[in-house]
Amino acid sequence: MMTAQAAVSAVELRGISKFFNGVPANQEIDLQVRAGSIHAIIGENGAGKSTAMKILYGIHRPDAGEILIRGDKKIWSTPAQAISAGIGMVHQHFMLAGPYSALENILLGVEIANSSAPLLKRAFESLARPVDRKGAKARLDRLADQYGLRKIDWDLPIETLPVGVQQRVEILKLLYQEASILILDEPTAVLTPQETEELFSNLKKLTKDGKTILIITHKLKEVMSLADEVTVLRAGRVVGRRAVADTKVEELASLMVGRKVNLKIEPPSKPVPRDPVLEISDLHLSTAPGRARRVHPLEKISFSVRGGEVVGIAGVEGNGQSELLQVLLHPRDFSKRNSASVAHATGSVRCLGRVTLNERTRLRAEEIKLLGVGVIPEDRHREGLLLERSMEENFLLGHQKRSAFSSKGFILRKSLRESALRAIEVYDVRPRVIDLEVEALSGGNQQKLIIAREFECEPKLLIAAQPTRGVDVGAIEFIHRRILEAREKGAGVLLVSSELDEILALADRILVMYAGRIVAQFNRGEASEQVLGLSMGGAHA
């Protein structure tokens, strides 16, 4: 049944529902995307936006509902069918084979995807038919020209190209496959502001040529500057559809969260200078000789964090931030004396008055934690939580030796339970089911649980890495307040984030990290997003 619309929608989802383990991920999703428009899908973590897109792309099969592409009903069971119908998707984690050249990566995808023949037959076909590299390259260059994308050196191994370029390769791959409907999943998560800007202008050029773009994001500012229309999901359902011209950030945020959200945090009071809690001087890190796995080197890193201040480290991911955190937390792993270490660190680090790293001393991670260091790790699933364990056990993690929770080597289950219950109440972790496995929690609640755990013992140094990544708007607000509260109480905070907004809102001082070095330093209010973005891209290096 046709709707009374003048033009047929490029993509239409009707009443799509999908259940996992009986839990609804999507319920009666309706979505209409005009041909030639940019349509944003926004929602909190776990709102079902990725599921909806994966259904559209053929990865999941809907339990109910139908998919219409240009008015035709489609049922597909594999992405290959979606691809041949002109749908392409750029995943958040690029699907590229590192050591192969950019060209090979594109051809790889096409060889396999562009046929609906059985896999074995396809394999034989592609073996039998020599690949016309020159022709392919010429065609790709023409495509780049046509859509106004910057040229790419097709012969370089893809892993040596900057992320922004890799993303361009992914997009060109879709164009090469003659996709007319492009789905982009969180495309800006790994980009500098400048790269983001370029991406957006590229996407706009694509729509001028009639391509339709669906973009999944949780960054409302990007929706406002890029999209024509926006569909908001919450808890698996569509809760709103707006033309971007008719809405405001605040309205979208409230739709996403289901309540009014205060997006602006009152600027914190001036920092009260206290003793340094973290002093790093002349820290170097280099891959140990003979090791195959390369570690991003660090060079001449020196800075300190005082009690009562937030020091933000800005930078595009992969510029040595992870390595810096690892060295701070596990100095032993980077010792020359440790024959298993993949990299060696030199220089010195003092934490809360104790030397944790110099030529002679390397404290164990356990000792560092016990000094009073709280850690919100970068990757909360891998480093922060035991996903298959209960909230209670996760709350204990890292505090198992504190006298509050153990005595003579045995866990004090009663006091653990009491503290855990209190903490999830105070830090508003939902649902309040202490025996629930953590993997069942939403991203925001998982992060709140980590914060509950790390803040419970009032750390004097807090290392917070990407504390709001993948966390919904409501939780972001909550987490930011907690970090500032800790600062008020006198804790020093080292905030590592690739979100400029976050750094600008929280940090008293901002250090910019690029290629393993601190390349710029600003005080609060000294730097604009533009200036920071340039430094992050290496302009000051």
Partner 1 sequence: MTFLRSRIFRSLQPLLAVLIGLVIGLLITRLAGENPWHVLKILINSAFGSRYDIGMTLFYATPLILTGLAVAIPFQAGLFNIGAEGQLTLGALAAAAVGCVFPDIPWPLAPVLAVLAAFFVGGFWGFIPGWLHAKRGSHEVINTIMLNFIAAGIASWVTLYVLKNPESQNPETKAVGAGYLIHHFQSFGDAPLSSAFVLAVVAAILVSVFLWRTVLGFQLRAVGQGESAARTAGIDSGKMKIIAMFLAGGLAGLVGVGEVLGNAGRFRLGFSPEYGFIGIAVALLGKNRPAGVVAAALLFGALHKGTSDLDLETENVTRDLSLILQALIILSVSAVGLWDWFNKGRPMVNGGRT
Least distance CB 10 / partner 1 (angstroms): 23
What single-letter amino acid sits at 256?
Answer: M
Under the binding rule (CB under 8 A), the answer on residue 467 touching partner 1 is no
- Phi/psi at 127 (nearest 5 deg)? -70, -40
CB count within 10 Å of CB 52 equals 28
Least distance CB 138 / partner 1 (angstroms): 38
Q: Could you please report the per-residue DSSP string of 230-295?
A: EEEEETTEEEEEEEGGG--HHHHHHHHHSS----PPPPPPPP----EEEEEEEEEEEEPTT-SS--
Number of residues that bind partner 1 (CB under 8 A): 58
Least distance CB 365 / partner 1 (angstroms): 5
Least distance CB 134 / partner 1 (angstroms): 39
CB count within 10 Å of CB 163 equals 16
Judged by CB under 8 A, which of 315, 320, 331, 398 binds partner 1? 398
Under the binding rule (CB under 8 A), the answer on residue 381 touching partner 1 is yes
Residues across the chain:
541
Under the binding rule (CB under 8 A), the answer on residue 354 touching partner 1 is no
Under the binding rule (CB under 8 A), the answer on residue 237 touching partner 1 is no
Residues 6+ away with beta carbon under 8 Å from 470 = 45, 218, 443
Judged by CB under 8 A, which of 3, 5, 15, 20 binds partner 1? 20
Under the binding rule (CB under 8 A), the answer on residue 23 touching partner 1 is yes
Nearer to partner 1, 42 or 519 (CB): 42
Judged by CB under 8 A, which of 87, 107, 375, 462 binds partner 1? 375
Under the binding rule (CB under 8 A), the answer on residue 116 touching partner 1 is no
CB count within 10 Å of CB 94 equals 17
SS3 219: coil
Under the binding rule (CB under 8 A), the answer on residue 51 touching partner 1 is yes
Least distance CB 132 / partner 1 (angstroms): 36
Under the binding rule (CB under 8 A), the answer on residue 264 touching partner 1 is no
Question: Residue 345 in contact with residue 283, Cβ under 8 Å?
Answer: yes
Least distance CB 16 / partner 1 (angstroms): 13
Question: Residue 272 in contact with residue 308, Cβ under 8 Å?
Answer: yes
Q: Tokens at residue 238, please?
A: 């569509």
Judged by CB under 8 A, which of 379, 425, 458, 529 binds partner 1? 379
Under the binding rule (CB under 8 A), the answer on residue 239 touching partner 1 is no
Under the binding rule (CB under 8 A), the answer on residue 253 touching partner 1 is no
SS3 212: strand
Residues 6+ away with beta carbon under 8 Å from 32 = 3, 5, 9, 11, 12, 13
Question: Residue 52 in contact with residue 31, Cβ under 8 Å?
Answer: yes
Q: How is residue 8 annotated by DSSP? A: P
Least distance CB 125 / partner 1 (angstroms): 30
From residue 57 to residue 76, the character string flagging contacts with partner 1 as x (rule: CB under 8 A) and all else as - is --xx----------------
Torsion of CA 438, 483, 191, 196, to 10 degrees: 120
Residues 6+ away with beta carbon under 8 Å from 74 = 66, 67, 68, 81, 82, 85
Region of 79-87, 246-254, 381-389, 494-502 interacting with partner 1 (CB under 8 A): 381-389
Nearer to partner 1, 13 or 484 (CB): 13
Q: Could you give the CA distance from residue 524 to residue 309 in angstroms, rounded to a whole number?
A: 11
**Closest residue by Cα to residue 493 from 309, 350, 271, 280:** 309
Under the binding rule (CB under 8 A), the answer on residue 228 touching partner 1 is no
Q: Using N-to-C axis directions, what is the helix angle for 119-128 and 102-113, rounded to 10°?
A: 130
Beta pairing class for 38-43 and 229-234: parallel
Region of 3-11, 95-103, 251-259, 378-386 interacting with partner 1 (CB under 8 A): 378-386
What are residue 461's DSSP bridge partners? 373, 492
Site for partner 1 in 133-162 (CB under 8 A): none
Under the binding rule (CB under 8 A), the answer on residue 91 touching partner 1 is no
Nearer to partner 1, 379 or 529 (CB): 379
Under the binding rule (CB under 8 A), the answer on residue 278 touching partner 1 is no
Nearer to partner 1, 228 or 383 (CB): 383
Q: Could you give the CA distance from residue 230 to residue 215 in angstroms, rounded to a whole number?
A: 9
Under the binding rule (CB under 8 A), the answer on residue 488 touching partner 1 is no
Q: Tokens at residue 13, please?
A: 């989802």
Under the binding rule (CB under 8 A), the answer on residue 382 touching partner 1 is yes
Least distance CB 8 / partner 1 (angstroms): 29
Under the binding rule (CB under 8 A), the answer on residue 50 touching partner 1 is yes
Judged by CB under 8 A, which of 14, 211, 218, 234 binds partner 1? 218
Under the binding rule (CB under 8 A), the answer on residue 78 touching partner 1 is no
Instruction: Give me the residues that bind partner 1 (CB under 8 A), please.
Output: 18, 20-23, 25, 45-51, 54, 59-60, 92, 186, 218, 329-330, 339-340, 364-370, 375, 377, 379-389, 393, 396-398, 400-401, 406, 409-411, 413, 439, 443, 469-470
